[in-house]
Amino acid sequence: MDSEKQVGDSTADSVGHDCFETIAYCIPAIACRLALPFSQRHKSVPQSEQRLRAAKGKVRMAMLDANRIEAFLRHQLDMFNQGRRDDFIAAYREIAPGGLLIDDPVGSDRQEGLQLIGKLFDRYVGWKLTFVELIVNGHEAAACVRNEGVVNGHPVTVHSLETYHFGEGGTFLARYFHPAMSA
């Protein structure tokens, strides 16, 4: 079991978390926020989100069903792990024609756009990501992800909690909860 918690040496303990302990701690808070309507979860609405909301009426797209959402999430993970940057970005472009917003990490300034997905891909290229758990309900999903890579020359395993909201206007909000670190 210890090998799942860390890869390499004890440096991993300083940035890694046991996924299930993290879930037990974070899910109640996430669930409380997700129970609120989307507009109430984000009291101060950044300009980027205001633009996405304004575009909502211009982009006509049927709500995605749970199977399509799960297929997208698994596909983008596969494209990342295979190092297929263009296909990785294309998957986001297809799933979010109404715009993409990202909180990485949650609590930092919300960012928008496909260029950010490319930057995140480049920053973590070579890492291996694995869904420990993926749950899709309606047009939202939550996942616990095992992230294995190298930080400051040391192999590490870090678990993240990620939530995804797919809006009816083709918008997509991804929120990543993970320990602070630099890759």
What confidence tens digit (pLDDT) does each residue in 43-54 have? 444 555 555 555
Q: pLDDT band for 99, please (50, 70, 90 cuts).
A: very high
pLDDT computed for residue 89 by the predictor: 96
The H or E element that residue 101 is part of is strand 99-103
Task: Among 37-46, 59-68, 117-126, 141-150, name the one with the lowest average pLDDT.
Answer: 37-46
In sequence order, which residues have a C-beta less than 8 Å from that of residue 129 and are 6 or more positions away?
77, 80, 81, 145, 146, 147, 148
Of 104-108, 150-154, 172-176, which has the strongest mean pLDDT?
Answer: 172-176
Q: Which two tokens stand for residue 25?
A: 């701690």
Q: The pTM is what?
A: 0.68
Burial 1-33 (b: 16+ CB within 10 A, else e): eeeebbbeeebbeebbbebeebbeebeeebeee
For residue 152, give every residue at least 6 positions away whose Cβ sits within 8 Å of its Cβ, in sequence order, or none. 11, 182
How are beta strands 99-103 and 171-177 bridged, if at all? parallel
- Give the model's pLDDT for residue 179: 85
CA distance 55 to 41: 20
Count the neighbouring beta carbons within 10 Å of the beta carbon of residue 88.
22
pLDDT score of 88: 97
Residue 84 in tokens:
């297929």
Taking alpha carbons only, the member of 30, 38, 5, 1 closest to residue 146 is 5
Average pLDDT value over all residues in the chain: 77
What is the set of domains in the chain, with CATH numbers? 2-38+61-177 (3.10.450.50)
Q: What is the pLDDT of residue 181?
A: 60
Phi, psi of 156 (to 5 degrees): -140, 160
Residue type at 84? R
Answer yes or no: is pLDDT of 157 > 90.
yes
Average pLDDT, integer, range 49-77: 73
Could you tell me which of 9, 172, 53, 181 has the C-alpha nearest to residue 105? 181
- Tens digits of residue pLDDT in 26-35: 444 444 444 4
> Does the pLDDT of residue 117 top 90, yes or no?
yes
Which tokens hold the place of 19? Answer: 């996924």
